[in-house]
Chains A and B, each alone.
Chain A
C-alpha cells in the first residue's frame, strides 16, 4: 500500500503542473475605439503590419473612420481556413476596384481579398515580391528574384497581373532588387536598389513601356533607390538610401519629359506621400559612424519644389514616435497618418494628426505597421 501512496503523490504533482494544452482556435481580432467621423467621405482604410521575418506575423487591420472602430488582426477571423494565415512580412497593400491586394514578401504571394469583407478571393504566387501598383485593369508587382535558383541571374522583375483572371500575363526583367514603382501615362518607372550586393548597388530607375512591357531605358539617379512617387505635374520623387556609411540618403526629382534629374533635396527621406501639391516626408537617417538614428519630418511644395517651413506635426508629439515606418494622407480630410514601428518586435502604433498638425488619436497595431490603403 505504501509504495502505491508515494507513486500517487508523484502522479498528482505531475498532473498539477501539467496545464493541458487547449484546443487550437483561429486567432481572434481585437478592437480599439477612437473618435468617429460620421461625415467622412473616405469610409476607412486597411493597414498591413509587416511582422518580423520568420515569425509569420504579417497582419491586416481595418480602420472604420465613420464609426471610429479600429480592428486589429482581422485576417484570421475572416479567413480561418487559410493555411498559416496571411503569412510572413506583409510588404505592400493596394486597393483596386472591388479587390484588396496584399503583397506578402517572404511567403512569396500576393493575397487578393474582397475589399468590403476581407475574405480571400485568390492568391498569385510570386517569389520575393515587393511592391504593387495598378493601371488599366492590370496590377504590376516588383520582385527581387526573376529566376529562382540561377546564380547568374541576379536581376529582378516586374510581373503584370490580370486583375480579372488573377494570373500573371507576362513579366519584364529590370535592375537588381527592384523596389517601388510609379506610373505616368503609359510608362512604368521602377526604383532599383541592388541591395543584395553592397557596395555594388544599383543606381538607376528602369523605364518600362506598358503596352509592350519592355524596358526601354534606364535613368541615372543615385545608389540604392527605394521610394518612387509621381506628382500631378509629370515629375517623379525618388529616394536614395545611400550606403549607410559615407554616402548620405537624398531625395531626387526627375522630370519625365526629359528623363533627367531636375532637383536634389539633401533630405534623408525614409518615406513620402504626395497629396495635391504637397509631399509629406519623414526621414530616419541611420549612421553607423555616428552610432545613432536622426528622425525629422518635413513638407515639400510640389509646385515650386521647395522645402516648406510648415510642418505636419506641430504639437511636439512627434517625439513619442520611436521609428516612423509608414505615412499616409486622407485625400478628403487631409488628416495625416503616421505609424511607429517601435523596436520591430513589439506591437506598433498608428497616430492620426489633424491638418493643423495636432494629434487626434492613437491606436495599437500589429508588429511593424507599415502600409495603408484607403477605400471609398
Chain B
C-alpha cells in the first residue's frame, strides 16, 4: 500500500510541472515497476547487485550528456564523431566515409563555439577553429561528455570557461586488480569500405605510484561505398572514389601518484593520408584531391591538495600540426596546387581552488596560449596569437541549492610578420548557473544557466589571402537555459532507474562571421553580419530494466526541437528563415541488451527536414533521414583473459542520404570487431 502511495505522490510532482508534459509517457513504467516488486523479492538469486546512483547529469546545473563504458564500447561507431550523433542538441556535419571531415555544432551556435578537451586540455585549432572529430577513435576512451554552457567544476583550466559548449574526451585510466601488473588489449576491426583496423593497448604497473600505457592503432580503408541519386525519373547508383584513408596513431602515457596529489603526462602522434572525395555534381563523379595530416602533441597535468582547504592544478601542452592539400585539377605556374600549413601551439595553465567554508568555494584560473601559423600561400601574413585567459569563479553548495558564478577575462594579442594584424582584443564574459533540489526526499531538480561568451575570429577568418578580413570582431553568444531533472532508482525490482532531463533554451548569436561576396564568385570576404535567434527544447531520458533474469536492458531516448532563425535584417527576404543545416526536429534512441555472455544493441537516429542554404525554398529543401544500427556480440572467457566478438550492421534499411548536399553518406555497411583482453 505504501509503495502505491509513493508512486501516486511521484505522479503529482510531475503534473505540477506541466510545461514538461513530454516526460509523462514514462509514468506507466513507474507504476508497473511497483507491482512486480513483490514477485522479485521472493527470487533469491546470486546476481551482481549493481547500484544505480544519482547521475552526474541529474545533479548538474548545466545540461550534461555522457556516453561511457559499455555504451561507448558497443555503440556502432568508429570515431568520436559517430558516437556524438546520439546526443541531443547536436548537428554533425559529415562529408561522408571514414576519412571525411566531421565537425559538430551544438545548439545551432556554430561549430567554432564548441571546445573539445582531451583529458582536460583543449585540442586547439587556431587556423579554422574546428576540430575534426573523425580523427579521434573510441579505442581507449573511457568517456565522452558534452556540456552545454560549461563544466560546472571550479578546479578546471580557464579554457573550460571560454566556450559556449564543451566536449570532454577522457582516456581510460588504468585500473589494475589485485596482483595484476600488466594489461593487454588487442583489437581488430574489419568490414565495409575495405576496412582493416588493428589496435593495441598495453598497460604496465611499474610500481604503486607509477603506471605506463601505450595505445596504438592503424586504419586502412579503400573508402569505397555505393551511393544513389534519384529524382524519380533519373536513378543513378555509383561508387564513391578517392575516399581511401590510411591512418596511424600512437599514444604513450604515464600516470603517477604522490602524497596528496597525482600527475598525468601523454605524448600523442597522428599521421593521416587520405583522398578528398569532392561534391558529386552532374557529370562529375571522380576526384583526385588529397590531404595529409601530421599531428603531434605532448601534454601533462599535475594536481595537488596543498592543504585541506587549498588545491591546485597545473596543465601544459606543446603541439605541432601539419597539413598538406594537393589539387591536381588546379595547375599553377609552379605545378599542381600544393598548400602546406604548419601550426604550432604552446599552452600553460594554473588553477587554484580555496575552500572558504564547507559551503563556499572560490577559484582562480589563468591560462596562456601561444599559437602561430605558417603557410606557403601568396600574400600570407604569418600570424601569431597570444591569448591570456583569467577567470574568477565561486560556488555555493547548500543542502538543496547549488549556485556557481564566474567572470572570464580574455585578452588576445595578434602579431603578423607581413601586412596588417587584427590587433588586440579584450572581453569580459560572465556566467551564472544553479541547480535547486526543491524537495528534500526526491531527486527532482530545477536548473538554469546564463552564459555570455564569444569566439575569436580564426586565423583563416582574419588572414587568409583574399578571404580574410582583419577588421573582424569576435562572434558573441548569449545562452539562457531552464531545465528540470528527475532521477529515481529502484531496489530489488525489474526497473532499475529512471533518469530524465528536459531543458528549454534561448540562444542568440550576434556579429556572426559570415562569408560575403568579394570581387567575384571565387572571392569571398568574412564579415560580422549575422544575427541568429535560437529557441530549443531538449529531452533526454535513460532507464534500465531487467525483464527476465540475466537479461539487462539499458535504454536512452532523446529528442531535440530547434527553431534557429536568421534575424539579421527585416529587409532581407530570408528574415526569420531557418538557418542552413538545422532541422526543426531530431532525435535518437539507443538500446543495449546484456544477457550473460551475449550482448546486443540497437540505435536509431532521426534528423528532420532542413534547408541547405539561407532561403527556405523548395530548391534548398533536404528530406529527413533516419538510420537503424544493430549489433550483436559474444564474450568468451578463456583461462587467461577474454575474447569479445561483435558484429555490426549500420544503416540497416540502406537509406541513401546526404548531410552536406552532394556528399553522399554510405548505405548499409558492416563491421566485425574482435577484441582480446588480458
Contact = CB atoms under 8 A, between A and B. Distances in A.
A17 B655 CA distance: 18
Contact of A18 (B518, B612, B626, B661): B626
Interface residues of B, number: 76
Contacts of B589: 10, 14
Contacts of B70: none
B574 to A, nearest CB: 6
Contacts of B618: 27-28
B279 interface: yes
B234 A56 contact: no
B281 A3 contact: no
A3 B589 CA distance: 18
Contacts of A204: none
Contacts of B520: 241, 270
Contacts of B609: 19
Given A87-B281, A346-B573, A56 B471 contact: no
A8 B504 CA distance: 26
B233 A107 contact: no
B329 A145 contact: yes
Interface in B442-497: 466, 469, 471
Given A88-B282, A197-B332, A199-B378, A80 B233 contact: yes
B331 A154 contact: yes
B469 A84 contact: no
A99 interface: no
A145 B281 contact: no
Contacts of B284: 87-88, 106-108
B589 to A, nearest CB: 6
A40 to B, nearest CB: 29
Interface stretch (B26-34, B136-144, B257-265): B26-34
A83 B331 contact: no
A366 interface: yes
B383 to A, nearest CB: 16
B25 A13 contact: yes
Interface string B111-126: 0000000000000000
B615 A347 contact: yes
Interface string A81-114: 1111111110000000000000010111100000
B587 A17 contact: yes
Task: Tell me what chain A mostly uses at the interface: helix, strand, loop, or mixed.
Answer: loop
Contacts of A87: 281-284
A190 B598 CA distance: 71
Contacts of A154: 331-333
Contacts of B516: 343-344
B662 A347 contact: no
B281 A88 contact: yes
Contacts of A56: 279-282, 661-662
Contacts of B517: 323, 341, 343-344
B521 A53 contact: yes
A151 B231 contact: no
Contact of B233 (A81, A106, A153, A291): A81
B334 interface: yes
B48 interface: no
Interface residues of A, number: 84
B282 A150 contact: no
A319 interface: no
A160 interface: no
Contacts of B613: 52, 55, 345-346, 367
A197 B35 contact: no
A76 B234 CA distance: 11
A56 B589 CA distance: 34
B19 to A, nearest CB: 18
A50 B28 contact: no
B282 A86 contact: yes
A106 B606 contact: no
Given A106-B281, A107-B282, A286-B519, A21 B233 contact: no
A244 B331 contact: no
Given A59-B619, A196-B331, 7 more contacts: A2-B35, A106-B281, A106-B284, A291-B469, A346-B573, A347-B573, A347-B617
25 contacts: A2-B35, A5-B32, A9-B25, A9-B28, A13-B25, A13-B557, A17-B585, A24-B623, A53-B521, A54-B278, A54-B662, A55-B613, A56-B280, A83-B229, A84-B281, A87-B283, A107-B281, A107-B284, A149-B288, A149-B328, A176-B333, A196-B330, A244-B519, A344-B517, A367-B613
